[in-house]
Amino acid sequence: MCGIFGIYPHKDAAELTCLGLYALQHRGEESAGIISRQGKKVHLHKALGLVSSVFNEKILRSLRGDLAVGHLRYSTTGSSNIKNTQPFYVKSKLWDIAIAHNGNLTNTLELSKELENRGALFQTTMDSEIITHLLAHSQKKDIKEAIVWALSKLEGAYSLVLMVNDTLIGARDTFGWRPLCLGKLDGAYVLASETCALDLINAEYIRDIEPGEIVFIKKDTIESIKPFKETKRAFCIFEYIYFSRPDSNIFCHNVYLARKKLGMQLANEFPIQADMVMPIPDSGVFAALGFAEVSKIPFEFGMIRNHYIGRTFIQPSQDLRDFRVKIKLNPLRDVLKGKEVILVEDSIVRGTTSRARLKTLRQAGVSKIHMRVSCPPLRFPCFYGIDFPTRKELIAAKHDLDWVRDFIGADSLEYLSLEGMLKAMPLAKENFCTACFTGEYPVNHTCHFSKTLLERSSRQST
Protein backbone atom coordinates (compact mmCIF):
# COMPACT_ATOMS: atom_id res chain seq x y z
CA MET A 1 0.00 0.00 0.00
CA CYS A 2 0.99 3.59 -0.41
CA GLY A 3 -0.45 7.05 -0.89
CA ILE A 4 0.44 9.20 -3.88
CA PHE A 5 -0.20 12.82 -4.79
CA GLY A 6 0.81 15.34 -7.46
CA ILE A 7 -0.06 18.90 -8.46
CA TYR A 8 0.87 21.22 -11.37
CA PRO A 9 1.06 24.15 -11.92
CA HIS A 10 0.47 25.79 -8.55
CA LYS A 11 2.58 28.35 -6.69
CA ASP A 12 2.01 26.48 -3.40
CA ALA A 13 2.64 23.05 -4.89
CA ALA A 14 4.70 21.60 -2.00
CA GLU A 15 2.43 22.93 0.77
CA LEU A 16 -0.65 21.55 -0.97
CA THR A 17 1.11 18.23 -1.52
CA CYS A 18 1.95 18.08 2.17
CA LEU A 19 -1.73 18.63 3.03
CA GLY A 20 -2.70 15.96 0.51
CA LEU A 21 -0.31 13.55 2.20
CA TYR A 22 -1.85 14.39 5.58
CA ALA A 23 -5.22 13.30 4.25
CA LEU A 24 -3.72 10.10 2.84
CA GLN A 25 -1.63 9.21 5.90
CA HIS A 26 -3.61 6.00 6.54
CA ARG A 27 -2.19 4.60 3.28
CA GLY A 28 1.35 4.53 4.63
CA GLU A 29 2.91 5.46 7.93
CA GLU A 30 6.43 4.35 7.27
CA SER A 31 7.89 7.25 5.31
CA ALA A 32 6.84 10.44 3.56
CA GLY A 33 8.42 12.48 0.80
CA ILE A 34 7.86 15.42 -1.55
CA ILE A 35 9.78 16.45 -4.63
CA SER A 36 9.22 19.84 -6.23
CA ARG A 37 10.40 21.41 -9.44
CA GLN A 38 11.32 25.04 -9.91
CA GLY A 39 12.45 25.81 -13.45
CA LYS A 40 15.17 23.26 -14.09
CA LYS A 41 15.92 22.74 -10.39
CA VAL A 42 14.40 20.06 -8.24
CA HIS A 43 14.10 19.98 -4.46
CA LEU A 44 13.51 16.76 -2.58
CA HIS A 45 12.82 15.97 1.05
CA LYS A 46 11.92 12.54 2.36
CA ALA A 47 12.38 10.68 5.61
CA LEU A 48 11.04 7.84 7.71
CA GLY A 49 8.05 8.77 9.84
CA LEU A 50 4.65 10.40 9.68
CA VAL A 51 3.94 13.47 7.55
CA SER A 52 3.75 15.61 10.71
CA SER A 53 7.26 14.64 11.75
CA VAL A 54 8.85 14.62 8.29
CA PHE A 55 7.81 18.14 7.23
CA ASN A 56 7.82 21.54 8.88
CA GLU A 57 7.38 25.07 7.62
CA LYS A 58 11.05 25.60 6.89
CA ILE A 59 11.35 22.40 4.90
CA LEU A 60 8.20 23.19 2.93
CA ARG A 61 9.51 26.67 2.12
CA SER A 62 12.64 25.09 0.68
CA LEU A 63 10.56 22.88 -1.63
CA ARG A 64 10.04 25.64 -4.15
CA GLY A 65 8.41 25.46 -7.54
CA ASP A 66 5.00 24.94 -9.09
CA LEU A 67 5.15 21.19 -9.66
CA ALA A 68 5.20 18.70 -6.77
CA VAL A 69 4.87 14.97 -6.27
CA GLY A 70 4.34 13.32 -2.89
CA HIS A 71 4.46 9.79 -1.55
CA LEU A 72 3.65 7.83 1.60
CA ARG A 73 5.11 4.41 2.03
CA TYR A 74 3.71 1.28 3.60
CA SER A 75 6.16 -1.46 2.81
CA THR A 76 4.79 -4.96 2.76
CA THR A 77 8.03 -6.82 3.35
CA GLY A 78 11.45 -6.20 4.85
CA SER A 79 12.59 -3.47 7.15
CA SER A 80 12.06 0.25 6.85
CA ASN A 81 14.96 1.80 5.07
CA ILE A 82 15.61 5.39 4.12
CA LYS A 83 16.86 4.28 0.70
CA ASN A 84 13.46 2.81 -0.06
CA THR A 85 11.55 6.00 0.51
CA GLN A 86 9.78 7.80 -2.33
CA PRO A 87 9.44 9.88 -4.45
CA PHE A 88 12.39 8.16 -6.04
CA TYR A 89 14.40 10.58 -8.14
CA VAL A 90 16.94 9.98 -10.92
CA LYS A 91 18.46 12.05 -13.67
CA SER A 92 19.07 10.35 -16.99
CA LYS A 93 20.59 11.74 -20.16
CA LEU A 94 17.28 13.09 -21.33
CA TRP A 95 15.16 13.27 -18.25
CA ASP A 96 14.68 14.22 -14.68
CA ILE A 97 12.43 11.48 -13.38
CA ALA A 98 10.63 11.31 -10.05
CA ILE A 99 8.25 8.50 -9.27
CA ALA A 100 5.56 7.87 -6.65
CA HIS A 101 4.11 4.38 -6.95
CA ASN A 102 1.22 2.57 -5.27
CA GLY A 103 0.80 -1.10 -6.05
CA ASN A 104 2.98 -4.10 -6.55
CA LEU A 105 4.58 -5.23 -9.78
CA THR A 106 4.58 -8.96 -10.43
CA ASN A 107 7.30 -9.30 -13.08
CA THR A 108 9.93 -7.53 -11.04
CA LEU A 109 12.47 -10.30 -11.11
CA GLU A 110 12.62 -10.74 -14.86
CA LEU A 111 12.65 -6.99 -15.49
CA SER A 112 15.41 -6.31 -13.00
CA LYS A 113 17.53 -9.14 -14.40
CA GLU A 114 17.04 -7.86 -17.93
CA LEU A 115 17.97 -4.32 -16.88
CA GLU A 116 20.99 -5.47 -14.87
CA ASN A 117 22.23 -7.37 -17.89
CA ARG A 118 22.06 -4.09 -19.77
CA GLY A 119 24.13 -2.37 -17.11
CA ALA A 120 21.54 -0.90 -14.79
CA LEU A 121 22.73 -0.32 -11.23
CA PHE A 122 19.91 -0.45 -8.74
CA GLN A 123 20.04 1.87 -5.75
CA THR A 124 17.07 0.49 -3.85
CA THR A 125 15.16 -2.73 -3.38
CA MET A 126 11.87 -1.21 -4.53
CA ASP A 127 10.01 -2.54 -7.52
CA SER A 128 9.20 1.09 -8.42
CA GLU A 129 12.82 1.83 -9.27
CA ILE A 130 12.49 -0.47 -12.25
CA ILE A 131 10.12 1.98 -13.90
CA THR A 132 12.74 4.73 -13.81
CA HIS A 133 15.34 2.42 -15.36
CA LEU A 134 12.93 1.40 -18.08
CA LEU A 135 12.37 5.06 -18.91
CA ALA A 136 16.08 5.77 -18.98
CA HIS A 137 16.69 2.73 -21.20
CA SER A 138 13.76 3.34 -23.53
CA GLN A 139 15.78 4.95 -26.38
CA LYS A 140 12.75 7.10 -27.11
CA LYS A 141 13.19 10.84 -27.27
CA ASP A 142 9.53 11.66 -26.81
CA ILE A 143 8.21 11.52 -23.24
CA LYS A 144 4.92 9.99 -24.27
CA GLU A 145 6.55 7.25 -26.30
CA ALA A 146 9.02 6.50 -23.52
CA ILE A 147 6.30 6.24 -20.87
CA VAL A 148 4.10 4.03 -23.01
CA TRP A 149 7.04 1.77 -23.77
CA ALA A 150 8.11 1.57 -20.11
CA LEU A 151 4.61 0.89 -18.80
CA SER A 152 3.99 -1.71 -21.50
CA LYS A 153 6.75 -3.77 -19.89
CA LEU A 154 5.08 -3.85 -16.48
CA GLU A 155 2.87 -6.56 -15.06
CA GLY A 156 0.94 -6.22 -11.84
CA ALA A 157 -0.53 -3.26 -10.04
CA TYR A 158 0.45 0.34 -10.42
CA SER A 159 -1.11 3.68 -9.80
CA LEU A 160 1.60 6.20 -10.54
CA VAL A 161 2.33 9.86 -10.20
CA LEU A 162 5.45 10.82 -12.11
CA MET A 163 7.38 13.96 -12.77
CA VAL A 164 9.31 13.75 -16.02
CA ASN A 165 11.03 17.06 -16.71
CA ASP A 166 8.27 19.66 -16.59
CA THR A 167 5.41 17.22 -17.11
CA LEU A 168 3.26 15.74 -14.34
CA ILE A 169 2.04 12.29 -15.30
CA GLY A 170 -0.66 10.08 -13.80
CA ALA A 171 -1.12 6.45 -14.81
CA ARG A 172 -3.11 3.41 -13.75
CA ASP A 173 -2.63 -0.20 -14.87
CA THR A 174 -5.30 -1.67 -17.13
CA PHE A 175 -6.81 -3.76 -14.31
CA GLY A 176 -7.16 -0.74 -12.04
CA TRP A 177 -6.26 -2.48 -8.77
CA ARG A 178 -5.35 0.74 -6.95
CA PRO A 179 -7.36 3.96 -7.05
CA LEU A 180 -6.22 7.28 -8.54
CA CYS A 181 -8.29 10.39 -9.08
CA LEU A 182 -7.97 13.70 -10.86
CA GLY A 183 -8.96 17.06 -9.42
CA LYS A 184 -8.54 20.75 -10.12
CA LEU A 185 -7.61 23.70 -7.94
CA ASP A 186 -7.01 27.30 -9.05
CA GLY A 187 -6.39 26.11 -12.61
CA ALA A 188 -3.89 23.44 -11.47
CA TYR A 189 -4.48 19.73 -11.91
CA VAL A 190 -4.22 17.43 -8.92
CA LEU A 191 -3.65 13.68 -8.82
CA ALA A 192 -4.37 11.76 -5.62
CA SER A 193 -4.90 8.21 -4.42
CA GLU A 194 -8.20 9.14 -2.80
CA THR A 195 -10.69 11.99 -2.97
CA CYS A 196 -10.23 12.82 0.74
CA ALA A 197 -6.96 14.49 -0.31
CA LEU A 198 -8.84 16.71 -2.79
CA ASP A 199 -11.39 17.63 -0.12
CA LEU A 200 -8.76 18.87 2.29
CA ILE A 201 -7.25 21.32 -0.19
CA ASN A 202 -10.65 22.34 -1.59
CA ALA A 203 -9.85 20.92 -5.00
CA GLU A 204 -12.73 19.98 -7.23
CA TYR A 205 -13.02 16.29 -8.07
CA ILE A 206 -13.07 15.86 -11.83
CA ARG A 207 -12.98 12.11 -12.37
CA ASP A 208 -11.02 8.94 -11.72
CA ILE A 209 -8.00 8.16 -13.85
CA GLU A 210 -9.32 5.19 -15.78
CA PRO A 211 -7.71 1.76 -15.86
CA GLY A 212 -5.07 1.83 -18.60
CA GLU A 213 -5.14 5.61 -18.86
CA ILE A 214 -2.11 7.91 -18.81
CA VAL A 215 -2.54 11.66 -18.36
CA PHE A 216 0.16 14.19 -19.22
CA ILE A 217 -0.24 17.48 -17.41
CA LYS A 218 1.72 20.43 -18.73
CA LYS A 219 1.57 24.07 -17.77
CA ASP A 220 -1.45 24.85 -19.92
CA THR A 221 -2.67 21.50 -21.17
CA ILE A 222 -3.78 18.07 -20.11
CA GLU A 223 -3.68 15.17 -22.50
CA SER A 224 -5.05 11.71 -21.91
CA ILE A 225 -4.17 8.54 -23.78
CA LYS A 226 -5.20 4.90 -23.44
CA PRO A 227 -2.51 3.11 -25.40
CA PHE A 228 -2.90 -0.41 -24.00
CA LYS A 229 -5.21 -3.22 -24.93
CA GLU A 230 -8.13 -3.31 -22.51
CA THR A 231 -8.17 -6.07 -19.92
CA LYS A 232 -10.79 -7.04 -17.41
CA ARG A 233 -11.12 -4.76 -14.41
CA ALA A 234 -9.82 -5.83 -11.04
CA PHE A 235 -10.50 -3.07 -8.54
CA CYS A 236 -9.24 -4.08 -5.12
CA ILE A 237 -12.31 -4.91 -3.05
CA PHE A 238 -10.25 -4.60 0.11
CA GLU A 239 -9.96 -0.84 -0.53
CA TYR A 240 -13.70 -0.71 0.23
CA ILE A 241 -13.55 -3.17 3.12
CA TYR A 242 -10.64 -1.73 5.03
CA PHE A 243 -8.02 0.32 3.33
CA SER A 244 -9.41 3.58 1.98
CA ARG A 245 -10.73 6.36 4.16
CA PRO A 246 -14.51 6.25 4.66
CA ASP A 247 -14.85 9.87 3.55
CA SER A 248 -13.25 9.08 0.18
CA ASN A 249 -14.96 8.11 -3.01
CA ILE A 250 -12.88 5.47 -4.71
CA PHE A 251 -13.71 3.73 -7.96
CA CYS A 252 -16.36 6.51 -8.19
CA HIS A 253 -18.30 5.46 -5.07
CA ASN A 254 -18.27 6.37 -1.41
CA VAL A 255 -16.42 4.11 0.98
CA TYR A 256 -18.48 4.83 4.11
CA LEU A 257 -21.71 3.83 2.40
CA ALA A 258 -20.13 0.66 1.01
CA ARG A 259 -18.90 -0.34 4.49
CA LYS A 260 -22.28 0.34 6.05
CA LYS A 261 -23.90 -1.85 3.42
CA LEU A 262 -21.46 -4.66 4.22
CA GLY A 263 -22.68 -4.47 7.83
CA MET A 264 -26.33 -4.48 6.75
CA GLN A 265 -25.75 -7.54 4.61
CA LEU A 266 -23.94 -9.21 7.52
CA ALA A 267 -26.95 -8.64 9.77
CA ASN A 268 -29.24 -10.10 7.10
CA GLU A 269 -27.09 -13.19 6.74
CA PHE A 270 -26.52 -13.89 10.41
CA PRO A 271 -29.32 -12.44 12.52
CA ILE A 272 -28.80 -12.79 16.26
CA GLN A 273 -30.19 -11.22 19.42
CA ALA A 274 -27.93 -9.48 21.92
CA ASP A 275 -27.81 -6.41 24.16
CA MET A 276 -25.78 -4.26 21.82
CA VAL A 277 -23.88 -4.03 18.57
CA MET A 278 -20.39 -2.66 19.02
CA PRO A 279 -17.47 -2.16 16.64
CA ILE A 280 -13.80 -2.72 17.06
CA PRO A 281 -12.81 0.91 16.45
CA ASP A 282 -12.09 2.52 14.14
CA SER A 283 -12.19 0.23 11.16
CA GLY A 284 -15.21 -1.81 12.35
CA VAL A 285 -17.42 1.23 13.08
CA PHE A 286 -19.12 1.59 9.70
CA ALA A 287 -20.13 -2.04 9.27
CA ALA A 288 -21.34 -2.04 12.89
CA LEU A 289 -23.62 0.93 12.12
CA GLY A 290 -25.15 -1.00 9.24
CA PHE A 291 -25.52 -4.11 11.37
CA ALA A 292 -27.27 -2.16 14.15
CA GLU A 293 -29.61 -0.42 11.70
CA VAL A 294 -30.82 -3.69 10.20
CA SER A 295 -30.94 -5.71 13.40
CA LYS A 296 -32.54 -2.85 15.39
CA ILE A 297 -30.20 -3.60 18.26
CA PRO A 298 -28.66 -0.52 19.95
CA PHE A 299 -25.25 0.57 18.72
CA GLU A 300 -22.73 1.28 21.46
CA PHE A 301 -19.08 2.13 21.66
CA GLY A 302 -17.79 -0.51 24.04
CA MET A 303 -14.21 0.67 23.79
CA ILE A 304 -12.62 4.04 23.26
CA ARG A 305 -9.67 4.66 21.04
CA ASN A 306 -6.69 6.76 21.99
CA HIS A 307 -5.84 8.77 18.89
CA TYR A 308 -2.47 10.04 20.07
CA ILE A 309 -0.30 6.97 19.89
CA GLY A 310 1.50 7.33 16.59
CA ARG A 311 4.28 5.06 15.46
CA THR A 312 6.31 5.25 18.65
CA PHE A 313 4.39 2.39 20.16
CA ILE A 314 4.41 0.23 17.11
CA GLN A 315 7.11 -2.08 18.26
CA PRO A 316 7.90 -5.37 16.64
CA SER A 317 8.56 -7.35 19.79
CA GLN A 318 5.82 -9.65 21.02
CA ASP A 319 6.04 -8.52 24.68
CA LEU A 320 5.16 -5.01 23.68
CA ARG A 321 2.31 -6.03 21.44
CA ASP A 322 -0.17 -6.57 24.29
CA PHE A 323 0.77 -3.21 25.70
CA ARG A 324 0.15 -1.62 22.33
CA VAL A 325 -3.29 -3.17 22.10
CA LYS A 326 -4.08 -1.84 25.55
CA ILE A 327 -2.89 1.67 24.97
CA LYS A 328 -4.86 1.94 21.74
CA LEU A 329 -8.29 0.86 22.99
CA ASN A 330 -9.75 1.09 26.48
CA PRO A 331 -12.95 -0.85 27.25
CA LEU A 332 -15.94 0.89 28.85
CA ARG A 333 -16.57 -1.37 31.83
CA ASP A 334 -19.83 0.34 32.83
CA VAL A 335 -21.28 -0.20 29.37
CA LEU A 336 -20.03 -3.76 28.97
CA LYS A 337 -20.43 -5.47 32.33
CA GLY A 338 -22.72 -8.49 32.13
CA LYS A 339 -23.73 -7.72 28.53
CA GLU A 340 -24.04 -9.99 25.53
CA VAL A 341 -22.43 -8.16 22.61
CA ILE A 342 -22.29 -8.44 18.84
CA LEU A 343 -18.76 -7.39 18.00
CA VAL A 344 -18.33 -6.16 14.44
CA GLU A 345 -14.91 -6.14 12.77
CA ASP A 346 -14.06 -5.29 9.16
CA SER A 347 -11.66 -8.19 8.67
CA ILE A 348 -9.57 -10.82 10.41
CA VAL A 349 -6.09 -11.19 8.94
CA ARG A 350 -3.72 -12.88 11.38
CA GLY A 351 -6.22 -13.04 14.24
CA THR A 352 -3.79 -11.74 16.81
CA THR A 353 -5.30 -8.31 17.38
CA SER A 354 -8.82 -9.73 17.47
CA ARG A 355 -7.73 -12.21 20.11
CA ALA A 356 -6.22 -9.44 22.23
CA ARG A 357 -9.33 -7.25 21.91
CA LEU A 358 -11.65 -10.05 22.92
CA LYS A 359 -9.51 -10.81 25.95
CA THR A 360 -9.82 -7.16 27.02
CA LEU A 361 -13.59 -7.29 26.59
CA ARG A 362 -13.83 -10.44 28.73
CA GLN A 363 -11.76 -8.74 31.42
CA ALA A 364 -14.19 -5.84 31.29
CA GLY A 365 -17.01 -8.26 32.14
CA VAL A 366 -18.94 -8.97 28.92
CA SER A 367 -20.97 -12.17 29.24
CA LYS A 368 -20.99 -13.27 25.58
CA ILE A 369 -19.24 -12.17 22.41
CA HIS A 370 -20.70 -12.84 18.97
CA MET A 371 -18.03 -11.81 16.50
CA ARG A 372 -19.24 -10.76 13.05
CA VAL A 373 -16.78 -9.97 10.27
CA SER A 374 -17.78 -7.81 7.31
CA CYS A 375 -15.82 -9.78 4.70
CA PRO A 376 -15.24 -13.48 3.99
CA PRO A 377 -12.24 -15.37 5.41
CA LEU A 378 -8.95 -14.09 3.94
CA ARG A 379 -7.24 -17.18 2.59
CA PHE A 380 -4.88 -16.17 -0.20
CA PRO A 381 -1.98 -13.75 -0.43
CA CYS A 382 -2.32 -10.47 -2.28
CA PHE A 383 0.27 -9.94 -5.01
CA TYR A 384 -0.96 -6.48 -5.84
CA GLY A 385 -0.09 -4.39 -2.85
CA ILE A 386 -2.16 -5.30 0.22
CA ASP A 387 -0.21 -6.58 3.18
CA PHE A 388 -1.23 -10.25 3.04
CA PRO A 389 2.13 -11.62 2.07
CA THR A 390 1.92 -15.35 2.52
CA ARG A 391 -0.75 -17.94 3.18
CA LYS A 392 0.85 -19.06 6.37
CA GLU A 393 0.23 -15.71 8.02
CA LEU A 394 -3.47 -15.75 7.19
CA ILE A 395 -5.29 -17.47 10.02
CA ALA A 396 -8.23 -18.54 7.83
CA ALA A 397 -5.88 -20.14 5.28
CA LYS A 398 -4.72 -22.68 7.84
CA HIS A 399 -7.73 -23.13 10.12
CA ASP A 400 -11.47 -23.60 9.91
CA LEU A 401 -14.09 -21.33 11.42
CA ASP A 402 -14.41 -23.21 14.72
CA TRP A 403 -10.68 -23.13 15.28
CA VAL A 404 -10.53 -19.40 14.59
CA ARG A 405 -13.52 -18.78 16.87
CA ASP A 406 -11.77 -20.60 19.72
CA PHE A 407 -8.45 -18.95 19.02
CA ILE A 408 -9.85 -15.43 19.21
CA GLY A 409 -12.05 -16.44 22.16
CA ALA A 410 -15.53 -15.71 20.76
CA ASP A 411 -18.77 -17.51 21.66
CA SER A 412 -19.79 -17.40 18.02
CA LEU A 413 -18.09 -16.24 14.83
CA GLU A 414 -19.52 -15.56 11.39
CA TYR A 415 -17.99 -14.06 8.28
CA LEU A 416 -19.93 -12.32 5.51
CA SER A 417 -20.36 -14.57 2.47
CA LEU A 418 -18.57 -13.88 -0.79
CA GLU A 419 -21.90 -13.37 -2.56
CA GLY A 420 -23.09 -11.09 0.23
CA MET A 421 -19.95 -8.99 0.06
CA LEU A 422 -20.26 -8.58 -3.70
CA LYS A 423 -23.95 -7.76 -3.38
CA ALA A 424 -23.16 -4.96 -0.95
CA MET A 425 -20.68 -3.33 -3.32
CA PRO A 426 -21.61 -0.25 -5.34
CA LEU A 427 -20.26 -1.83 -8.55
CA ALA A 428 -21.01 -5.10 -10.31
CA LYS A 429 -18.90 -8.04 -9.22
CA GLU A 430 -17.05 -8.28 -12.56
CA ASN A 431 -15.19 -5.10 -11.63
CA PHE A 432 -13.43 -6.51 -8.60
CA CYS A 433 -10.35 -8.48 -7.67
CA THR A 434 -11.40 -10.87 -4.89
CA ALA A 435 -8.31 -13.09 -5.10
CA CYS A 436 -7.51 -12.80 -1.37
CA PHE A 437 -10.82 -14.54 -0.65
CA THR A 438 -11.10 -16.94 -3.57
CA GLY A 439 -7.58 -17.60 -4.84
CA GLU A 440 -8.84 -16.72 -8.31
CA TYR A 441 -6.28 -14.20 -9.49
CA PRO A 442 -7.26 -11.91 -12.37
CA VAL A 443 -4.10 -12.86 -14.24
CA ASN A 444 -3.02 -16.38 -15.07
CA HIS A 445 0.12 -16.72 -13.09
CA THR A 446 2.90 -18.95 -14.28
CA CYS A 447 5.43 -20.82 -12.13
CA HIS A 448 7.81 -18.04 -12.94
CA PHE A 449 5.44 -15.64 -11.30
CA SER A 450 5.44 -17.46 -7.99
CA LYS A 451 9.20 -17.56 -8.12
CA THR A 452 9.18 -13.79 -8.52
CA LEU A 453 7.03 -13.52 -5.45
CA LEU A 454 9.23 -15.80 -3.43
CA GLU A 455 12.09 -13.47 -4.15
CA ARG A 456 10.08 -10.46 -3.22
CA SER A 457 11.95 -10.01 0.03
CA SER A 458 14.86 -8.75 -2.04
CA ARG A 459 12.75 -6.32 -4.00
CA GLN A 460 9.97 -4.81 -1.98
CA SER A 461 6.57 -3.72 -3.05
CA THR A 462 5.18 -0.34 -2.24
Q: Which residues are catalytic?
A: 2
Closer CB to Mg ion, residue 84 or residue 283?
283
Chain positions contacting Mg ion, by CB under 5 A: 283
Report if residue 104 touches ligand 5GP, rule: CB under 6 A: no
Using CB under 6 A, pick the residue from 272, 349, 397, 443 that binds ligand 5GP. Answer: 349
Smallest gap from Cβ 436 to ligand 5GP, in A, equals 10
Using CB under 6 A, pick the residue from 348, 413, 416, 433 that binds ligand 5GP. Answer: 348
Q: Please choose, out of 109-117, 140-148, 333-341, 350-358, the segment that lies near ligand 5GP by the rule CB under 6 A.
A: 350-358
Q: Please choose, out of 143-151, 211-219, 225-233, 351-359, the segment that lies near ligand 5GP by the rule CB under 6 A.
A: 351-359
Report if residue 280 touches ligand 5GP, rule: CB under 6 A: yes
Smallest gap from Cβ 284 to Mg ion, in A, equals 6
Q: Tell me the C-alpha distance between 414 and 239, whole Å.
A: 21
Q: Please choose, out of 129-137, 313-321, 341-349, 436-444, the segment that lies near ligand 5GP by the rule CB under 6 A.
A: 341-349
Phi, psi at residue 119, to the nearest 5°? 100, 5
Kindly identify the residues of this chain, within the stretch 221-250, that bind ligand 5GP according to CB under 6 A. 242
Which residue in the shown chain puts its C-beta closest to ligand 5GP? 354
Binding partner of 387, given ligand 5GP, Mg ion, none, CB within 5-8 angstroms per partner class: ligand 5GP
Q: Please choose, out of 92-100, 174-182, 322-330, 345-353, the segment that lies near ligand 5GP by the rule CB under 6 A.
A: 345-353
Instruction: Tell me the CA distances in angstroms from 42 to 34, 68, 93, 297, 414, one per residue in order.
Output: 10, 9, 16, 57, 53
Q: Tell me the C-alpha distance between 28 and 348, whole Å.
A: 20
Closer CB to ligand 5GP, residue 86 or residue 353?
353
Smallest gap from Cβ 378 to Mg ion, in A, equals 13
Q: Please choose, out of 164-172, 258-266, 286-294, 348-356, the segment that lies near ligand 5GP by the rule CB under 6 A.
A: 348-356
How many other C-beta atoms are found inside a 10 Å radius of the C-beta of residue 268? Answer: 16
Closer CB to Mg ion, residue 102 or residue 283?
283
Using CB under 6 A, pick the residue from 85, 138, 244, 283 that binds ligand 5GP. Answer: 283
How many other C-beta atoms are found inside a 10 Å radius of the C-beta of residue 430? Answer: 9
Report if residue 373 touches ligand 5GP, rule: CB under 6 A: no
- Give residue 366's identity as a one-letter amino acid code: V
Report if residue 413 touches ligand 5GP, rule: CB under 6 A: no
Closer CB to ligand 5GP, residue 79 or residue 273?
79
Q: Tell me the C-alpha distance between 288 and 232, whole Å.
A: 32
Phi, psi at residue 392, to the nearest 5°? -70, -15
Report if residue 424 touches ligand 5GP, rule: CB under 6 A: no
Closer CB to ligand 5GP, residue 197 or residue 348?
348
Smallest gap from Cβ 284 to ligand 5GP, in A, equals 6
Report if residue 29 touches ligand 5GP, rule: CB under 6 A: no
Binding partner of 384, given Mg ion, ligand 5GP, none, CB within 5-8 angstroms per partner class: none
Binding partner of 249, given Mg ion, ligand 5GP, none, CB within 5-8 angstroms per partner class: none
Q: Which residues, listed in sequence order, are joined to residue 6 by a DSSP beta bridge?
A: 69, 191
Binding partner of 38, given ligand 5GP, Mg ion, none, CB within 5-8 angstroms per partner class: none
Using CB under 6 A, pick the residue from 172, 277, 346, 449 that binds ligand 5GP. Answer: 346
**Site residues, ligand 5GP (CB under 6 A):** 242, 280, 283, 345-354, 386-387
